Structure 1
Amino acid sequence: MAERDELLLKIALLYYEEEITQSKIAEMLNLSRPTVASMLKEARQKGIVKIMIQHAEHDLLQKQASIRKKYHLQNLEIATLTNSNQKDIKAIAGELCTNLIEPLLPKIKNLGLGWGTTVYQYVTQANYLNLPDMKIIPLIGGVGLSHVKYHSNHLAFMLSQKYHSEVSYFYAPAIAESLEVKETLLKTNMLKEILTAGKNVDLAILGIGNPILSSTYHQLGYIDQTDTEILAKEKAIGDIGSTFFDKNGAPVFTDLSERMIGLSLEDIRKLKRVVIIATGEEKAESIETLLKMGFVTDLIIDETIADYLDQTKNPTD
C-alpha cells in the first residue's frame, strides 16, 4: 500500500472507528485540521471509506423521488405501516391525503370528490376547517341503498360539514337501471348543472378501482359475476369516475359502462389538478396506465403500488 494511502487509512480509522475529532487527529499526526478534513474527503473519493445510509425511511424516500420524477408528479406520498400505530393502510393513505390537500384548500373554489373506501378514509380523517367560500362537488352518481357511507353524495356532505363549506349533490345513481333511465336523467337541469360544475373543479380527489379484482362497484352491488366476466373479456384493468379502461387507457364499452353516470375519463383528463388516492397491489397496473396519460398531478399510494411503479420502464423510453 502506498505511503499516502496508509496515512489516509490511518486517519479514516481514527475518525470513523475510534471517533476521534479532526482537531485531535491533527494534533496526534502533526497535521493541520484542514489537511485532516481534506484527507478524509480523499479517502471517500478513493473508496477507502464508503458511507452508507441505513435507515428505514431512506429507501422509501429514494423510491418516492424516483417515481415523482418519472411521472412528473407535483406530489407523491407513499403509505407505509412502518413507524405507524395504525394497522389499516387505507387509513394511513387517507391521513396522507389530508396532509397533502388541506394546505391547498384556501385557494380552491370548487373541490371535486369521487367515491370509494380510500376516499372515505380521507374524508373521515379530514380536519375541521372554516372554508365558507369553497364548494364540494361530487363527480359521480351518489344515490343508492347499500353502503351509503361510500357514496359520493354522503362523502361530499360529510366533508362539507368538516370544512364548513358549501356542497352540491349528484341526484343520480352511479349506474342507471337502463340506458333509457340514464338518458332521461341527463336531460334534467339538476344533472346538467352538476356535470358542468364537475368539469370545472379546481382540484379533484379520486379513487381508482380494478373492476375485475377490486372495485367500489362490487362493494355497492352495481357489478355482478356476469358483468365481471364481460369486463374481463374486454380486458378492462381499471375504473375511474364513470369509465372502465384497458391497459392503454382506452374506454371499455359494455352495456354496463353505457349506463354509468358521472365524469368520464376524458372529462377528468381536462381538469386542472387531479389527486389520485389508492391502495392495493391489484390497482398498480391501472394506476401506471393513468400516470402514462400524464394528467395525474398528485398521487397517494401504498408501498406495493410504489414498488411496481418504481420497477416499470420510464414512460418516455
Structure 2
Amino acid sequence: MSVRITEREVIKVSRMYYELHMTQEEIAEHEGWSRPTVGRILDRALKEGIVKISVLYPKNSIQRLESQLLSRFELTSAHVTPVYVDYLQSIGVDVGGNVGNYLTSILKPGDTIALSWGTTMSFVANNLPEWGGTKLTFVQSNGGIGRMGLSTDSAEIIEAFKRNFGGTGFLLPVPTIVDTQYIADAIKSDSMIKDIMEKVDRAEIVLFGIGKLSKTSVLYKAGYFEDREYDLLIKRGTVGDICSRFFDSNGNISDPDLDARTIGITLTALKKKKHSIAVAIGKEKCLPLLGALRGKFISTLFVDEILAQALLDEANVRGI
C-alpha cells in the first residue's frame, strides 16, 4: 500500500463501511483514496481483529433438539451446534470450538481432565480458546501408541490443551490394545503406568469422541486389528467404541476378551465420573452414539444439528 494508513484511519474506514453502510466507492471519494486502497484497509481490519464478523444463528430449532435429547436420554446437558454448511471439516471446527468454550465454564484450579484421542478429539484440540487456567492436569485416558508407524495424535492433543489452557500433561505411552490379558496386566502393574492410571481414576472430567466400527477408523488404521478380528466384532453386533472399549447397540461390552486386553479407562469407571463429555460429529456416528447413550456412558453431549436429528429419528424408529 503506497499510502501509510494509521490504525485510527482503519477504525474510521471500518465504521464508515460496517456501521454507516457506505460503499467502498463512497469511502474512497470521501477520503481521497482509490477503491482498492479502501478494500485493503477493510482486509487489514479483519486480519488485525479490529473488525470481527459473526453469524447469529436462530436458536429455536437448536433449543428444541437440545431439550429433546435431554429428556430422551437423561443427560445432564446437551449442546447442539447448527449446521449451515454440510461439510465435515466446518462442522468439526464449530463443534470443537463449542466444546472448548464449555470447558472454560466448568474447569477450576486443581482439576484433572482425562482426554481420549481420535479425529473428533483433534477438532476439539485444534479449536480451543486461549484461557489460561491454573494448576490443571491433562492425562491421556487410554493407550495411544499406534502400530505400523501411524500416529493417533494423542500427544498433539495433550500438548494443545496444555498450550491453550495451561497446566501439566501426562501421556499413557503404551498401546491401547495388546495381544493378551497377561501382557495388559503386566503393563498396568508398571509403577509409571500405574501412576498415570491413578491420575485417570482421579479425573472428574473425561472428554472423548465416539468411534464407529469402520476400517476408516483411527484404531483400524493404526494397525490394532486384522480383518478377521474386525469381522468378528461385526458378527458380535459391535457398533462403536469409547476410549477403545467396544460396545453393542445396547451399550454392552461386545468382546470381553478384547476388553481385558485394552489399556485405559473402563466404561464402568466412565459411568461414575462427574462429567463424562462425549463429542460426536457426522450422521454416520448415529448408531454408535445411540449405543453409548443406551449404555449411559455420557452425561454431557456435544453434537451437530444433523446428527442430533438423526439420533432422535433412530430412537423413535427403535422405540427407545
TM-score, normalised by the number of residues in structure 1: 0.74
Which residue of 1 is the match for residue 229 of structure 2? 227
Which residue of 2 is the match for residue 162 of structure 1? 164
Q: In the aligned structure 2, how far is the partner of 1:162 from the partner of 1:226?
A: 41
RMSD of the TM alignment (CA)? 2.7
Shift of 1:270: 1.5
Q: Deviations over 1:57-91 (max 9, x none)?
A: 43332122211222232322223332799952222
Do the aligned partners of residues 83 and 182 (structure 1) sit closer, same or farther apart at CA in structure 2, a change above 3 Å counting? closer
Aligned match of 2:178 in 173, 176, 179?
176
Residue segments in structure 2 that go unaligned for 5+ positions in a row: 1-56
1:245 matches 2:247 = yes
Shift of 1:147: 4.4
Shift of 1:128: 2.2
**Which segment drifts farther, 280-289 or 113-122?**
280-289
Q: Deviations over 1:109-161 (max 9, x none)?
A: 1111011111111111112222231100110002236443x433331122112
Which residue of 1 is the match for residue 105 of structure 2? 103
Do the aligned partners of residues 87 and 56 (structure 1) sit closer, same or farther apart at CA in structure 2, a change above 3 Å counting? farther
Do the aligned partners of residues 84 and 238 (structure 1) sit closer, same or farther apart at CA in structure 2, a change above 3 Å counting? closer
8 Å contact 2:144–2:154 — kept in the other structure? Answer: yes
Shift of 1:315: 10
Amino acid at match of 2:77: N
Amino acid at match of 2:240: G
Shift of 1:180: 4.1
Do the aligned partners of residues 213 and 62 (structure 1) sit closer, same or farther apart at CA in structure 2, a change above 3 Å counting? farther
8 Å contact 1:144–1:151 — kept in the other structure? Answer: no
Aligned match of 1:296 in 278, 295, 298?
298
TM-score, normalised by the number of residues in structure 2: 0.73
Which residue of 2 is the match for residue 93 of structure 1? 95
**Which segment drifts farther, 303-312 or 75-84?**
75-84
How many corresponding residue pairs? 262
8 Å contact 1:97–1:300 — kept in the other structure? Answer: yes
8 Å contact 2:133–2:166 — kept in the other structure? Answer: yes
Do the aligned partners of residues 168 and 292 (structure 1) sit closer, same or farther apart at CA in structure 2, a change above 3 Å counting? same
Larger Rg belongs to: 1
**Which segment drifts farther, 223-232 or 103-112?**
103-112
1:211 matches 2:217 = no
Do the aligned partners of residues 214 and 84 (structure 1) sit closer, same or farther apart at CA in structure 2, a change above 3 Å counting? closer
Aligned match of 1:274 in 250, 271, 276?
276
Which residue of 1 is the match for residue 61 of structure 2? 59
| Identity among equivalent pairs (%) | 21
Q: In the aligned structure 2, how far is the partner of 1:135 from the partner of 1:154?
A: 15
Give the SS at the match of 1:170: coil
8 Å contact 2:137–2:168 — kept in the other structure? Answer: yes
Q: In the aligned structure 2, how far is the partner of 1:302 from the partner of 1:253?
A: 30
Q: In the aligned structure 2, how far is the partner of 1:75 from the partner of 1:100?
A: 11
Which residue of 2 is the match for residue 196 of structure 1? 198
**Which segment drifts farther, 62-71 or 78-87?**
78-87
Q: In the aligned structure 2, how far is the partner of 1:193 from the partner of 1:141?
A: 14
Q: In the aligned structure 2, how far is the partner of 1:72 from the partner of 1:248?
A: 15
Amino acid at match of 1:77: H
8 Å contact 1:212–1:232 — kept in the other structure? Answer: no
**Which segment drifts farther, 222-231 or 210-219?**
210-219
Do the aligned partners of residues 286 and 86 (structure 1) sit closer, same or farther apart at CA in structure 2, a change above 3 Å counting? closer
8 Å contact 1:214–1:282 — kept in the other structure? Answer: no
Which residue of 1 is the match for residue 18 of structure 2? none
Aligned match of 2:127 in 97, 100, 125?
125
Q: Deviations over 1:252-295 (max 9, x none)?
A: 22654442211111121111111000112232122122223334
8 Å contact 1:140–1:263 — kept in the other structure? Answer: yes
Give the SS at the match of 1:70: helix
Residue segments in structure 1 that go unaligned for 5+ positions in a row: 1-54
